[in-house]
């Protein structure tokens, strides 16, 4: 597949407009993107897949900008990495990050059929691109002042109806998401009043808790206050100290008070300090992705996305595959827009 | 064209993810294999 890409670059450089810097950029980014796409097929955790897709999106944005589609590149960063992938991550958090993919085949031979279909799709797409006729003028600079202005002229001029329809589609999609995720409340809403009523009904202390050390012979935080009856009040010691077991023992302290009253010297109570447990190892070791063959053709991305859709079981990763396919299409659109010197592709 | 593709993709993601969330709420699973209501 390498020679196909070389052919395209050659077709561009025949017109003398593609710089070597851009070629170097492409050959740096394309393997990264293809590797990330293959990683989307093999990684187990959905979060890793999302990170790989973000890598692809950012690389695509760089490629867009390098091809002169500055506005589309920025929109790509904002919309895909900023909005869509964040949405993916939010849903991942809702649905459960730790849910890893099952590797059991429910349909016999599904994996091999999917792989075969992916390879076949790649072959078909490469064939199509090979047979494509490039416009005779080759890469031409678009005759507008700058990229956003040209795109605005096209969007709001020739394609204004499609633009409105697409806007309506977005609004409909947002409403649909609201309807789909809306849930009817089965229990009455618990507000401040209900919580307060429940506390009173449960017999909790309504007034502020007594301060530690009040009326006692010592005002340290771990010394319980004495009630009107002279008995120590456990609740006066801060909860954190009680949970840690660092409060002075109420019975022992009462005995100490007796000793103080009797004229003896009270020893300072020793607080038991618990050391926190040994540090837990927090990293879970991401698995690196390594594959020997690197073929750098953007259509490959599309077939990778299609294979992902066919192979993966986690519905979220399947959606990431769909995103990959759409983005590969976008990259092709931008490239052909550039070859034809026409902003319509963007 | 790429812009339109992008918008359609965004709309699709919004609806698709909300469907996944709705399915997850009722069936406690996001696996494609578990969604077999249409199968007898």
Is B22 in contact with A180 (Cβ distance < 8 A)?
A: yes
Percent share of chain A, pLDDT over 70: 63
Nearest residue to A312 (alpha-carbon basis) of A52, A51, A110: A110
pTM surpassing 0.80?
no
> Residue A74: closest CA among chain B residues belongs to which residue?
B3
Q: Please give the biggest Cα pair distance in chain B.
A: 42
Percent share of chain A, pLDDT over 90: 1
Residue that wins the pLDDT comparison between A216 and A197: A197
CA distance B39 to chain A (A): 13
CA distance A315 to chain B (A): 6
Query: For residues A318 and A313, what is the distance between their CA atoms, to the nearest angstrom?
Result: 7
Q: Does A344 touch chain B (CB under 8 A)?
A: yes
Q: Is A273 exposed, middle or buried (0-12, 13-18, 19+ CB in 10 A)?
A: exposed
Q: Does B2 touch chain A (CB under 8 A)?
A: yes
| Segment A233-282, tens digit of pLDDT | 778 888 888 888 777 766 676 676 677 677 654 444 333 333 333 333 33
Using an 8 Å CB-CB cutoff, list chain A residues near B25.
183
Which of B2, B16, B21 is opposite residue A94, by nearest beta carbon? B21
**Residue A292: its pLDDT value, please?**
28
Residue that wins the pLDDT comparison between A143 and A33: A33
**Residue A145: its pLDDT value, please?**
58
Weakest-pLDDT range from A8-22, A30-44, A177-191 = A8-22
**Residue B10: its pLDDT value, please?**
86
ipTM summary value: 0.81
| Residues in contact with B8: Cβ distance below 8 Å, sequence separation at least 6, in sequence order | A166, A169, A326
Distance of CA A255 to the CA centre of its chain: 59
| Segment A135-151, tens digit of pLDDT | 544 445 555 556 777 77
Q: Which residues make beta-bridge pairs with A233? A: A225
**Residue A284: its pLDDT value, please?**
33
CA angle, residues A34, A80, A167, in degrees to nearest 5? 135
Is A345 in contact with B11 (Cβ distance < 8 A)?
A: no
For A36-51, b where at least 16 C-beta lie within 10 A, e where not — what string? bbbbbbebebbbbbbb
**Residue B19: its pLDDT value, please?**
85
From residue A157, give the alpha-carbon distance in Å to each of A107, A245, A248: 50, 74, 80
Angle between helices A110-131 and A2-14 (to 10 degrees): 20
Q: Is the pLDDT of residue A345 over 70?
A: no
Q: Is the pLDDT of residue A227 over 50?
A: yes
Residues 97-126 of A with CB under 8 A from B: 99, 101-102, 106
**Across residues A139-166, what is the average pLDDT?**
74
**Across residues A48-54, what is the average pLDDT?**
87
**Residue A111: its pLDDT value, please?**
77
Q: Does A165 touch chain B (CB under 8 A)?
A: no
Using an 8 Å CB-CB cutoff, list chain A residues near B39.
none
| Segment A67-89, tens digit of pLDDT | 777 888 888 888 888 888 888 88
State both tokens at A275: 């050391």
Q: Does B5 touch chain A (CB under 8 A)?
A: yes
CA distance A32 to chain B (A): 22
**Could you tell me if A274 and A63 are in contact, meaning their C-beta atoms sit under 8 angstroms apart?**
no
Is B2 in contact with A69 (Cβ distance < 8 A)?
A: yes
Question: Given the structure tokens 């840690």, which residue do they identify?
Answer: A244
Q: Is the pLDDT of residue B21 over 70?
A: yes
Is B18 in contact with A180 (Cβ distance < 8 A)?
A: yes
Weakest-pLDDT range from A93-107, A140-154, A273-287, B12-26 = A273-287
Is A83 in contact with B10 (Cβ distance < 8 A)?
A: yes
């Amino acid at each position: 597949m390498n020679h196909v890409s070389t052919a395209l670059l050659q077709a561009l450089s025949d017109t003398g407009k593609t710089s070597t810097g851009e070629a170097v950029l492409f050959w740096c980014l394309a393997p990264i993107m293809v590797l990330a796409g293959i990683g989307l097929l093999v990684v187990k955790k959905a979060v890793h897949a999302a990170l790989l897709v973000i890598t692809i999106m950012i690389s695509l944005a760089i490629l867009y900008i390098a091809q002169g589609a500055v506005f589309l590149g920025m929109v790509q960063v904002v919309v895909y990495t900023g909005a869509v992938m964040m949405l993916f991550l939010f849903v991942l958090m809702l649905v459960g990050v730790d849910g890893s993919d099952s590797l059991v085949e429910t349909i016999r031979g599904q994996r091999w059929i999917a792989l075969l279909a992916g390879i076949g799709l790649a072959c078909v797409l490469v064939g199509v691109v090979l047979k494509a006729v490039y416009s005779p003028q080759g890469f031409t600079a678009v005759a507008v002042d700058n990229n956003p202005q040209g795109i605005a002229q096209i969007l709001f001029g020739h394609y204004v109806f499609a633009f409105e329809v697409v806007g309506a589609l977005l609004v409909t999609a947002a409403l649909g998401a609201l309807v789909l995720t809306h849930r009817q409340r089965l229990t009455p809403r618990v507000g401040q009043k209900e919580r307060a009523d429940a506390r009173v009904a449960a017999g909790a202390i309504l007034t502020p808790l007594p301060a530690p050390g009040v009326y006692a012979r010592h005002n340290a935080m771990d010394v319980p206050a004495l009630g009107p009856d002279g008995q120590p009040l456990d609740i006066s010691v801060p909860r954190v100290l009680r949970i840690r077991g660092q409060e002075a023992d109420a019975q022992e302290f009462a005995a100490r008070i007796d000793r103080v009253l009797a004229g003896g010297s009270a020893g300072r109570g020793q607080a038991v300090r618990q050391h926190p447990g040994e540090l837990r190892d927090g990293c879970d070791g991401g698995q690196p992705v390594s594959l020997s063959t690197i073929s750098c053709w953007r259509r490959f991305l599309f077939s990778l996305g299609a294979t992902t859709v066919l192979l993966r079981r986690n519905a979220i990763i399947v959606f990431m595959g769909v995103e990959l396919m759409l983005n590969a299409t976008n990259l092709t659109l931008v490239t052909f827009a550039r070859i034809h010197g026409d902003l319509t592709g963007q | 064209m790429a812009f339109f593709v992008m918008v359609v993709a965004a709309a699709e993601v919004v609806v698709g993810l909300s469907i996944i969330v709705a399915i997850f709420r009722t069936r406690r699973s996001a696996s494609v294999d578990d969604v077999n209501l249409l199968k007898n």
